[in-house]
Each structure stands twice: as C-alpha cells, then as structure tokens.
A = this chain, B = another copy of it.
C-alpha cells in the first residue's frame, strides 16, 4: 500500500533522461519536443530535469555527445581489424560498417544537427572533430597504405575519401525523408564500392 512514490537514483538519472530525450527528439525534433515530454518518458518530474541539465539546450548537447561518443568507439573498433588485404577489408568490415549506419542512430543525429546545428557551432565542431574528421583521415590513411602495398593506384580518390561516404549520406537523407519509398541501401553502397574499387585497383581484372 505504501510503495514509495519515487526512488532516488542520482547516478542513473542522467543516462535515463538522455535516453528518453533522444527518443523524443528523434520523433518530433528538438523544437517540437517539450521538456515535460522528455520528463514523463523518463518517468520523472519536469523539475528534476533542471537538476541535471541547466537548460533544454544543454540537454540537447548532452544527447548528441552521448550518441556520438558511442559511435566513435564502434568506428575505431572496426579500423583495428587489419590483417586482411585492402580489397578484402573494404568488401568486408568497412562495407559492413557503412551499411550499418543508415539503421543506426546517426540519421537522427544528422537530422538534429542540420536543423539546430547552425545555432550550436560548438556542437558541430565537436561532431566534426570526433566523427567526420577522424573517419575521413582513417579512410585516407587506409588508401595510402593500399598504394604503398601495391594494391591500389594513386588516384583522385586518395584526396576524396568522401566518395565512400556519399552513398551513406544519401541513404541517410533518403531514410529521413522518403522512408516510405524503398531504396535498397545495401545494394546502393555495395555498388558504389564496386565503382571505387574498379577505379583504384592496381591490377586490371582478367575477365
């Protein structure tokens, strides 16, 4: 009869609130989400929100950083597997990683950043330094290593690692806007990789 009306869980709260906020922002976007919505999703009162996050904007930034941080770890993990030939690596772990992005939380982050980013340059910088910049550098280094090993030619692609990400980006936008129109994202990404490999491969293929 007298279950406590709430529990004190100081340590778990931030994570729980952040998680609830991500879902709410994902559904309605930042501006359309009320702090109270997030609170009730997290099973918490509105007032409590302001004990852990000074403003709604602080909460927003915490959410983005939270997601991004995890993603970076995943990226690094993939890049450490390197006993394969360059082509095997591209067709294997790298392709898998790229295919996984459109179904991850990244599209939500992109959407939120595009909408609110211009008002939060520091957040965009954070995303740049921790995700985009690192990712591009990793691809660049990988291509360079392929050239040194004699597996790849040196081409314009060496300076345009973005070519690998282009289909991923389009898939993300497609997913956000046109989720009801089908696009075989996996096939799309595979085909782009075919184009790139055919272009940069050192040995001409003997049919």
Q: Which residues of A does B touch, CB under 8 Å?
A: 29, 31-32, 110-111, 113-119, 124, 127-128, 132, 156-157, 160, 162-163, 165-167, 169-170, 173-174, 176-178, 181, 183, 187-188, 191-192, 194-196, 198-199
Question: Complex Cα distance A54/B36, Å?
Answer: 29
How many copies the complex holds: the figure is 2
A187 to chain B, nearest CB (A): 7
Question: Complex Cα distance A172/B174, Å?
Answer: 13
> Would you give 12 A-B contacts (Cβ < 8 Å), ordered by A?
A29-B116, A31-B31, A115-B115, A117-B177, A124-B178, A156-B187, A163-B191, A163-B195, A165-B170, A166-B166, A166-B170, A195-B196
A32 touches B119 (CB 8 A): yes
CB neighbours of A199 from chain B (8 A): 194-195, 198-199
